[in-house]
Structures are given as structure tokens and as C-alpha cells.
Amino acid sequence: MTAFRLTGDAAWRDGALTAAGSLTKRFNPRGNFIRAWGALDSPVNAGRAIIDTMMNLDLLFWASAETGDGRFADIARRHATTSAEHHVRDDGSTAHAFDFDPATGGPISQSTRQGYSPTSCWARGQAWAIYGFTTAYRRTTAEPFLDTARKAADWFLAHLPADAVPFWDFRSPNLPRDARDSSAGAIAACGLLDLGRVTDESRYREGGLRALRALCQGYTTRGLPAHQAILLHGTGNKPRDDDVDVSLVYGDYYFVEALMRLLHFGEAARAIGL
């Protein structure tokens, strides 16, 4: 999708449309959610939806705009509505995962794979929510998505530590002596900058700048010329002790995207479709 926007090469368009078609096969119309994990012929995780999937919806919105087939955007809108209801709590914090009965679509409970607990608030998931619901609003102009993005952003900003880089889970019992997640900070910076542009509310832009400035000041590999990444102190999956206090490719990607949004907005807009 991004490659097609930048190059106009039909091969990239065809590949992105194939990906969008594959994603629609994971949609459960009884529960109005996109299944996160597992082979489609397997019952394992058949009813699990995750907040991360908000980041996949833009592919579907693009596919509808590109082909004129509204079913892609319809699935994206229906999943976002379900996620707003079940992943985002009344206070604006988020659950990483939510389980549904795959046969009936009925809601079961909040759950998690990468957060501390089903009722905690995994930092990267909170960042996905800010970015994802802001994007959903831009594609649909549906006010409930903007309200959800604001709720998630307000909660995130209110619970940041003093240096503005989140711990891996906002409700870890080991705070403040616990791992950070710089990738969550980078993703949130992108989402906050976008939300500030969409709403014209300075507090979101300022929050994004604060998050980005914190990463620049204390979390980059500047001065470490042999290092092959940009950001330090990311956390992939703390409960499994997997990729803790490391550089993460998605942390680097969203860090660069945030910088592009500030320094080269026209180029970022063309790539992302702003």
C-alpha cells in the first residue's frame, strides 16, 4: 500500500489488495471482529481479537477507496466499532485482547498475551489505540472513533512517567523499577501528532512532541556507531521474557515516521495517505 502510493507500481497495488483480501477472511461477522491469530481451520484463538488490529484497518479502507468495493471498509468500520466497545474501557485505558465465542460472536472477557494482566494496560496497546482510532476517524469521519482516540490519548498522557517514556505496562506491580517500551512511545508520538492535526487541539500535538523529544534525548543509539538500530530500551513481550530492553524494528519505524510528520510532512502524507 505505502509502496504503491510512493511508486505507482501496479505490482505493489496488486500485492496490497491480495493482503486486504486475506485479511477479510479473518473477519467473524457474528461478533464483528477480525480474528487475531491462528489458522482459520483451527479452533485455537478463534475468538480472540487484539487492539493491535486497529493498525491493520487502514489497509481495508484503502482497498475500498482503490477498488470501489465497500465491503473492505465495512469490515474495517465494524471491527473498529467492536474494538472501541470491548478493548477501550470507560476510563480510556485499554485491554490488549478480548475473547469472543467464535460460534455465536458473544463477548466473553478481556484477556492479554503481552500485557501484565487482563485488567492492566499494556503500553504498546494503548499507543495502537491512539494511532488506530485516529486513523479510523480520518477515513470515516465517524465521531465515535474520534471520541475513542481522545479517551485513549488522554489516559496515556495522564499516566506517563516523569521522563515521558512509558513503562511496558502502566499497571505493572514492579513500577518504577521495570522495563520501558520505547516503541510504545514512538507509536504514541505518531498518533498524538495525528490527533493534534485532526482536532486542532494543541495538547495532543504538544504531547506527541514531548514523547518524541524524550526518545531523542535519552533513548537513541546516538554515540553508539556500531549499533544497527535507532531506539534503545524497547520491550517486545515481557511476560515471556522475549525481547526485553532491546531495539525493535517497529520502534524504529514509528520513530522515523514521527520525525517525518514533523520535518517532512508532505512526504509523510504521500506515503501514509494523510
Domain 2-272 belongs to what architecture?
Alpha/alpha barrel (1.50)
Q: Residue 87 pLDDT > 90, yes or no?
A: yes
Rounded percentage of the chain residues whose pLDDT exceeds 90: 90
- At residue 79, what is the residue type? H
Q: For residue 3, what is the DSSP state?
A: H
Mean pLDDT of 179-204: 97
Mean pLDDT (whole number) for 121-149: 98
Using alpha carbons only, give the angle 191, 185, 140 rounded to the nearest 5 degrees: 15
> What is the C-alpha radius of gyration for the chain, rounded to an integer number of angstroms?
18
**DSSP secondary structure letters along 196-253:** HHHHT-HHHHHHHHHHHHHHHHHSB-TT-TT-S-SB--EEEETTTTEEEEE--HHHHH
Render pLDDT for 182-191 as a digit per residue (tens, 0 to 9): 999 999 999 9
| pLDDT one-digit tens code per residue, 233-250 | 999 999 999 899 999 999
75 pLDDT band, cuts 50/70/90, is very high
Quote the CA–CA distance of 5 and 2 in Å, as a whole number. Answer: 5
